[in-house]
């Protein structure tokens, strides 16, 4: 397929100028023949491969499969690296660098002689960062995810990255697992390249890339080592060349309908709470307002169907064998905008026509959901005037209506120092509060919100309690955990004035989180608030502190939202 539409890359390669000569000569220096300039779409393969990121370790192999497809369809593939955000190693948090990666992706796409781009991602932030950058650059783009790891195994049982790791480590903390067993777990929990094998942030965001219409149907769920991962990569390489000729840009796909589809799918899969922040940021790149209230409205009407950890029983490999995301999306098709356009050139409904579910224990029917509502709920109240989130499907039902006395940690460091103390004065009814863990306070909005259960309570067999903070938590985590409180404490949000001994009320049915104090006492305490000194005074950290928006606005930089976009 070719058209007479002039290619953007020809501006570099087909001009009667000295500069154009050097552009061609530079490609010839890589050993290509002049044939590559004969009206072939130049396809950038934007690769987040890194040996510092085991989740994306196989993406160079995936890139080779993409290249096969691009060549076969008459394009010219050129692979380029971007920074890679490895969730396990990066300190203080990958979220500090999501916007940096998005800028890297956006500016590389814009600055180089590309007609279209294939985005290779997997580990948590790499997917939203690439989509944000590609949305702003607005050249035809297709997402090829790396896929989830194989199921973890220990003592004959499946174990999920993050989710079971935390549970097993709590057994170690309380002496019920020894060093040798811990070493065995270490060797069996991540069994291959690929992203975390539960419905954590990576599986959520790769699924939402597909729900948004940016990836080929079925792409997100294929395990990383499965040969079909290479096949879908080759297919995606072919398809991006066609998409260039069709001028099928992200701005035609990433509409309000597509974003609503993504939220609906997020609720049905029991997706990570982090998806809320990332979807708002993606919408911001397109100039589409996406208030938190919209997430809650969609949550209330969407059944939770994916029986995958941390909210369910199974792992991503099982989800794939059950039919994967297309089977789940077909089940909720009446709740989706079926006419939304996708990168296939067809609609969501057309893409799902042949989807089949093979295991109803893993992907439930809409009429027999695991929970009648979606995974994530949005809370408001005097502690969170601009909102907070909670993953109700991974919480303890008996704690969803709760009133208890606060025990307050002023920051993460204090929490780490005290949480295993034998005389920590907490009960099962205590509400643990942690401050200064938000976008500006931590800074970087780290995944500190899953405050570990105090050892004194674990020793008494108490597995969960209400915990609240302005931090995020890993999508692999679980528990009755209120997150993303906005505005955050470091800028004077009401969380800043909570004190040990105050009563806090959580009322999920009515979507409220409140500090049970008279209004005049709240006003008195707020009047005494003084912000902590900034953690960065130079470099990227300062840029982040000066421009990051709050959780309810997606934590993008204010100057990267659509109104500031440039060409
Ligand atoms: Fe990369 Fe979990 S550590 S997805």
The length of the chain, given as a count of residues = 567
**For atom 3 of ligand 1, which residue has the closest CA?**
87
The arrangement of strands across the sheet holding 76-81 comes to 76-81, 42-47, 116-121, 141-145
Distance 162 CA to ligand 1 centre (A): 9
CB of 196 shorter than 6 A to ligand 1: yes
Q: What percent of the chain has pLDDT over 90?
A: 95
d(CA 533, CA 51): 35
Average pLDDT for the chain = 96
* pLDDT tens digits, one per residue of 207-251: 999 999 999 999 999 999 999 999 999 999 999 999 999 999 999
What confidence tier does 38 reach under pLDDT thresholds 50, 70, 90? confident
- Cβ of 268 below 6 Å from ligand 1: no
Closest residue by Cα to atom 2, ligand 1, is 196
Listed residue (182, 211, 102, 198) closest to 150, CA to CA: 198
Percent of the chain with pLDDT over 70: 99
Tell me which residue of 440, 271, 385 sits closest to 279, measured CA to CA: 271
pLDDT in tens, 498-513: 999 999 999 999 999 9
Q: Is the CB of 87 under 6 A from ligand 1?
A: yes
Write the CB contacts of 132 (distance below 8 Å, at least 6 apart in sequence).
Answer: 98, 99, 102, 105, 106, 281, 282, 285, 556, 560
Is 124 near ligand 1, meaning CB less than 6 Å away?
yes
- Would you state the pLDDT for residue 497? 98
Task: State residue 2's pLDDT score.
Answer: 64
For 15, 51, 93, 493, the CA distances from 541, given in Å and listed in that order, are 42, 24, 12, 22
pLDDT in tens, 544-561: 999 999 999 999 999 999
Q: How far is the CA of 327 from the centre of ligand 1 (A)?
A: 24
Residue 567 has pLDDT above 50, yes or no: no
* pLDDT, tens only, 254-298: 999 999 999 999 999 999 999 999 999 999 999 999 999 999 999
Mean pLDDT of 431-444: 97
What pLDDT, on the 0 to 100 scale, is given for residue 37?
87
Of 123, 209, 473, the one to substitute when testing ligand 1's pocket (max ligand atoms within 8 A of C-beta) is 123
The arithmetic mean of pLDDT across residues 384-406, rounded, is 96
* Range with lowest mean pLDDT among 1-15, 208-222, 300-314, 329-343: 1-15
Torsion of CA 399, 405, 411, 417, to 10 degrees: -90
Q: Specify the pLDDT at position 5.
A: 82
Residue 162 has pLDDT above 90, yes or no: no
241 CA → ligand 1 middle, Å: 30
State the pLDDT at residue 306.
98
Contacts of 176 (CB under 8 A, 6+ apart): none
pLDDT for 565 beyond 60: no
Q: What token pair was written down for 298?
A: 């969609």
pLDDT for 1 equals 62
pLDDT of 110 reads 98
Task: State the alpha helices, DSSP H only, in 342-429.
Answer: 348-351, 412-418
Angle at 272 between CA 269 and CA 275, to 5 degrees: 100
Q: How far is the CA of 124 from the centre of ligand 1 (A)?
A: 6
422-447 as b/e: b if 16+ CB within 10 A? eeeebeeebbbbbbbbbbbbbbbbbb
Query: Which one has a higher pLDDT value, 193 or 3?
Result: 193
Buried b (16+ CB within 10 A) or exposed e, 181-192: eeeebeebbbbb
């Amino acid at each position: 397929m070719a058209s007479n539409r002039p290619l953007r890359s020809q501006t570099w390669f087909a001009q009667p100028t000295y500069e154009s000569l050097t552009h061609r000569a530079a490609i010839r220096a890589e050993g290509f023949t002049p044939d590559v300039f004969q009206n072939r779409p130049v396809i950038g393969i934007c690769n987040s491969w890194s040996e510092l990121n085991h989740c994306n370790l196989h993406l160079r192999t995936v890139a080779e499969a993409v290249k096969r497809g691009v060549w076969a369809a008459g394009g010219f593939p050129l692979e380029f690296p971007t920074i890679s955000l490895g969730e396990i190693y990066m300190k203080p948090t990958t979220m500090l660098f999501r916007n940096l990666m998005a800028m890297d992706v956006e500016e590389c796409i814009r600055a180089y002689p590309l007609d279209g781009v294939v985005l290779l991602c997997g580990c948590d932030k790499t997917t939203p960062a690439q989509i944000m950058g590609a949305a702003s650059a607005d050249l035809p783009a297709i997402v090829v995810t790396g896929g989830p790891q194989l199921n973890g195994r220990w003592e004959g049982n499946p174990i999920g990255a993050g989710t079971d790791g935390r549970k097993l480590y709590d057994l170690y903390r309380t002496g019920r697992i020894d060093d040798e067993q811990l070493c065995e777990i270490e060797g069996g929990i991540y069994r291959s390249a690929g992203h975390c094998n539960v419905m954590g942030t990576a599986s959520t965001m790769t699924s939402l890339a597909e729900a948004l219409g940016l990836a080929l149907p079925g792409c997100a769920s294929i395990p990383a080592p499965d040969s079909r991962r290479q096949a879908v990569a080759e297919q995606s390489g072919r398809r991006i060349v066609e998409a260039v000729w069709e001028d099928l840009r992200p701005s035609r796909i990433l509409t309000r309908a597509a974003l609503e589809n993504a939220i609906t799918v997020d609720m049905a899969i029991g997706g990570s709470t982090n998806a809320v922040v990332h979807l708002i940021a993606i919408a911001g790149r397109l100039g589409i307002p996406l208030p938190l209230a919209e997430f809650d409205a969609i949550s209330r009407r969407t059944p939770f169907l994916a029986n995958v950890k941390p909210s369910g029983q199974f792992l991503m490999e099982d989800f794939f064998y059950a039919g994967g995301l297309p089977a789940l999306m077909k089940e909720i098709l009446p709740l989706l905008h079926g006419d939304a356009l996708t990168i296939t050139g067809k609609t969501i409904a057309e893409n799902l026509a042949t989807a089949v579910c093979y295991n109803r224990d893993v992907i439930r029917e809409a009429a027999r959901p695991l929970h009648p509502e979606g995974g994530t709920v949005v809370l408001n109240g005097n502690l969170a005037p601009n909102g907070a989130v909670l993953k109700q499907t991974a919480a303890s039902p008996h704690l969803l209506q709760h009133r208890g006395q606060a025990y307050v940690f002023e920051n993460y460091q204090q929490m780490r120092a005290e949480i295993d103390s034998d005389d920590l004065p907490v009960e099962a009814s205590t509400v643990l509060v942690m401050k200064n863990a938000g976008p500006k306070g931590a800074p970087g909005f780290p995944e500190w919100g899953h405050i570990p259960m105090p050892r004194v309570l674990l020793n008494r067999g108490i597995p969960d309690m209400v915990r609240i903070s302005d931090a995020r938590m890993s999508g692999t985590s679980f528990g009755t955990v209120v997150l993303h409180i906005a505005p955050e404490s470091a800028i004077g949000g009401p969380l800043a004035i909570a004190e040990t001994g105050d009563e806090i009320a959580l009322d999920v049915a009515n979507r409220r989180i409140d500090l049970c104090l008279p209004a005049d006492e709240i006003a008195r305490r707020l009047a005494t608030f003084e912000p902590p000194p900034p953690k960065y005074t130079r470099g990227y950290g300062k840029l982040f502190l000066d421009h990051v928006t709050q959780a309810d606005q997606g934590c993008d930089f204010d100057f990267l939202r659509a109104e500031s976009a440039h060409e």
